[in-house]
Structure 1
């Protein structure tokens, strides 16, 4: 059968591979007088050598009857990889193949035929030339390693997994039509454990698996192509099946009854370890045992937990006398009701030392001396006998920890007596609490000791008056406000918020006071300030109205600020807490002023004095000096605003 395809004057004919004789007959029947027909094959078999053939296809343009036409091929297999697999005779358009085709590398080649004049211009539009590679059964099937699981005790016919083989031959053809069979099973066992559907590869349970007997199987599966027909190619692969455990085994214990003993008055001690036995898979919930005390632990004196590495029950005793326990075990995973086992625990009585109950005694106490007991005893903290709960006998007491030596302890009475007045502001207090420790020492041999803690909680009293945190400040002369801050060593409610007041009698200048917050106030001058030192007397009261006996003096040093917002350093130094001037210092200051006034008088005497002048021997007649000179010192500054006033002007004659 011949098929013809004509595109833009180019005629292409595809030919199925048939016998030489039939091809010759059909060629004659289809021959036309005006043009040659081209008979290329559309399909070529893989693994067949066509390289010896003169051509596998021919392309020809009608334009070749009018002028010279040259033929070319383009596309994969021609001028693209794989290069030159198909070549064309430029003169006659014969297309040849240079190598054997492999369908698994390329199933189809889409080429284009090109007709050009010798000058390079196209004589016709490009035409498609498609070569289809026909498949041969040249690839054996294969099965990659596949893994599956099946629960133990699964019934016959349970689907385990689907096995899928691979074949590189063309899908949908008999060459890739696979069938399956089981070649071998490891371990082999008495009966085959699995069966397989020949056509689908579905693997089913044939015999119920038991994980406790065999937990893993390895199968060798064979795949055959050609639908399993004789002569088909075969391949094998491995399938691994893991049997998944279910909780089908009841846990048991090594013994049917357990007996143990332990000393009394011990905390969190292990009484015994109880080994559980379970045939299910180790370290799974089906194997891990849960222990429960179902009898004799009504007061929760015992606890039991599981060691997850050994599956042992760890029975612990808190504190108890002789008891009979009932122990039940079951798995973490649900199964059936657990089995109860009897456990008898004999607790041995052991003489015990004294103990403090409670271990810490809180002692509230005021730092107000009037509220402290006259005898100084603030508490009694005796140790007790842990067996009877009564006050321990034959016990002596001593201090173990008393960082600031606040108290003493009665050696026989356990009376706690103060050594000193409690101070809530002491650095040895934390959050208002002073911590001390006592020892109770038994008189037997060897002695037993117990430690008790006392927490003296000191309540604050209003025993400190509020003071200024700073009693001096500098102020630029173009400003009028300074701030004061107070603090109090007492705690609430004996401290802030504070109230502030200016005492006029001890204050220089005219000032207003503005409260900023509970600890800070602002002082505003009502008039412009001249450089100098200003004293303000301020009274501060705490929230309870308590103030210091003497109002504090706050010093404001007013100065001229040049180019900055801060005062230029001055000669006078301001103390941060208080400023006082002794009588001696005032005397020295007065003497210095007198001396300054005396100097001009001495100089005048030197100028005009004669022999009758006081101290004539000490001065030299200056009349020989013909020149006199006036040195003028004129200092202007900001002074009191007075009518008719003028700046000071001093003239000294030398």
Structure 2
């Protein structure tokens, strides 16, 4: 066995040297080589032989100490082949990491040296390959083998706090041993070799308040009375030492800042125990009086507080709120103050923490109190009404003029107690229905009342200090008009009912109700009876339902609308008073034809006669004929209007208003030759009026006029018309301010076969004339109105 290496050149510790030698000795064991080549490897016959041979390389790994500072290359180790007989025939070479630069080898002896200072923390090992060759032929004598050179660690790196400086926090008043934070240092030395990287921690500065775990680096509190209000942060210096704290070990330190966080351990505190403010008694509700503030040694949310007024005699007069920005308590007026009642008010204000720490509740350290005195100053105030919210008065609607309605009262609240004068605001009583006594405030009636016109009156009463109108106040007075029974009841509507001809006795026809403008306090009660003039009625009866309604029932059967199709039933309605008032209303009852099911078909007596005389087919034919006739009439009227319009448009400029008078009494035909009658006939085409021998009818006049002028069917009397027309002509002749637009034609000729009646201008009223007489359009309505011949219900139409 070859020696391990020269001990004199080795710097390894004894243990590593033994380990190295043991590894080298193990490498001497024989192992099987699959194929061996080289000199003497084949027999003479040239055949391959297989046999067990020793391994050629005799090393395992090498070590070299880091940070070597010597001047000579540092011996690392030696490689050797057992085929080397010491004659210098073998050449050793190395390749790989650092070969030829960091590591060099003696080609003859196989000694390896390190030429540079190595740093394990930079590179812990190097991998190289060794080769043994024939010096002359360079043929490999051994297979190339890999080996490792490890850099042996020394304690050359101090511990470092890579994450420092550290900042931690802990709540004040935390118990001893409360964990604050953890610090950790690192050592670049080899933790598997010796104690170079084994660290221990200690506190250099601040050890009175905090301690650090020697092995883990956890920082904990060392005292229980940390007070943020006294000191809110601490600066510690923590040291880490390697070699387990033994002498010669390296160390590193870092700074640790520990912030003491706040807990709500301080109560609010008022800097003053007494505050004084003043306010006018005339200050409105909500007016700020003053501000107070309490301080709190805590911070953040722990300083949030609310203020309140402690219960007391004067606490209800004031309100307190918190200013969210300044945390001040704002005291304001909650109710109106009165100098005459009390001049100084005392309230107790409390400041209370919003976020209370349960650990300090029992100590009462979450509130503080102070006293606030408020002085009220006097001002001149307007009169005050009693009651202050207005009065409600009542008066009967039949009260006489000057009757007392009620009295309002107001007084001066000031100490001087100036007299008060009353008046009614005219805008609230424009009709001057009420009067008020300016001294006593008594309200009396100035006009008669009517509840049905106005049930309530709202007036405004003004009270002002005598001699000082600027100090005035107003109050609303509501006056209710109490009802008296001064309106009779009336039927709700003009009732109309219908019954079938075959109605049975006792059948309910209709139900009627009553309205009454009065509103008695005890409610309405109405009584129904038939009017005295209907007491002998045999057709219908009246049934009082006792609920302010009544029902009409049939008293017999067998109604016939041919005999009588309408019945008028007068009903007397009486209220309950007092005094009892009554009125009579009429119910119209129609007798109608009904089908077998009782449904009403028709209530017209004429229609009944026609329908009874004609069959359904005949009725349908009659209706068709009437429809066709109506269409033809409308068509003719339309054509006549069209022709008339065209004619009038052509002759409009030729139309003149003339007065033509014939005063000559001649002999028949000579008169017609003397005057051209065709001009008159062409201008006005008057149809002839039938003589009285034709039955006394006036077909050219409307039926209602005929009834007036003919009277009992005799000859028409136009005396009234003649007088009226004559009077109008005289007025027109006397009126010189306007041209004679009106035309009047007189025919005084008395012939043998031409009655004067046929020449009357009244014939212009004929509805068959196609001429457009403007003078008739103008005078016609006024003529009929003054003559008094309007038919009842007939509308007045221009030009009729």
TM-score by length of 2: 0.39
Structure 1 length normalisation: TM-score? 0.47
Query: Which has the larger strand fraction?
Result: 1
Say which structure is richer in helix: 2
